[in-house]
Homo-oligomer: A and B are copies of this chain.
């Protein structure tokens, strides 16, 4: 049969519904979900009920609105603690962001996209779920490129082919060939640059965090704006960046850490 259908059984379907609701980004009506769902009414209905029962979705009977459930927040707390580099890397992020006096991001790969698991901004010391948990594109962010560059070829090719290459700015790389070339350059330089590829005026330098077996654990970046530094000047952060990435990697090793596999 070969080809990979993307749903494993009922659980897969249920989770895809979860995603749908998440995607709306606000509480939604049954019919709204039904509208862009492949499931028939009754099926969708039961899936929603199950998820609601399970606390993965919340339901407001007065307004008839489904929203993501609070249970997710609790699970994520656990996930963040045990499956992300964030709790280990935390002191190192503090240190780095203070030293360079710029924003630092810590990301991991999730299905070819970047999931930011932590962030430090030395000026605005406010961070929360609103920062961590954010997902960004893999092909036009510093951490994304740094991580993708260091995957082994088969996985890298697979994920590259899945990128959607939306042109965010005039500098965004918009096809796989250029992107593969960029990744090769990154491997040579050992760091990735974001040259206003995702947002105008935002530039960054990023490095992968690799396990001792050279598997990609995550990515680390120093982000700034063109108003503060030129792209060339970013290079001066390279030693600090690599040093911190390496330290995180060592800490991760010693306190057994799971490797991201997608």
Q: How many of chain A's residues touch chain B, expressed as a range?
A: 35 or more
Q: Which of A12-20, A148-156, A197-205 contacts its partner?
A: A12-20
Closest CB in chain B relative to A114 CB, distance in Å: 10
Closest CB in chain B relative to A214 CB, distance in Å: 12
Give A107-155 interface residues, CB cut-off 8 Å to B: 108-111, 115, 117-118, 125-130, 132-135
- Report whether A11 and B50 are in contact in the complex, using a CB–CB cutoff of 8 Å: yes
- Report whether A72 and B70 are in contact in the complex, using a CB–CB cutoff of 8 Å: no
Closest CB in chain B relative to A126 CB, distance in Å: 7
- Report whether A72 and B71 are in contact in the complex, using a CB–CB cutoff of 8 Å: no
The answer, yes or no, to whether A32 is at the interface (CB within 8 Å) is no
Sample of 30 A–B contacts (CB below 8 Å): A8-B49, A8-B53, A10-B11, A12-B53, A25-B78, A55-B262, A59-B261, A60-B258, A60-B259, A61-B261, A67-B79, A68-B79, A68-B83, A69-B79, A71-B111, A72-B72, A72-B75, A72-B79, A73-B133, A74-B115, A76-B79, A77-B129, A77-B133, A77-B135, A78-B133, A80-B128, A80-B129, A80-B133, A128-B132, A129-B129
A residues near B, CB below 8 A?
A: 8-12, 14-15, 18-19, 22-27, 47, 49-51, 53-56, 58-63, 65, 67-84, 86-87, 108-111, 115, 117-118, 125-130, 132-135, 213, 256-262
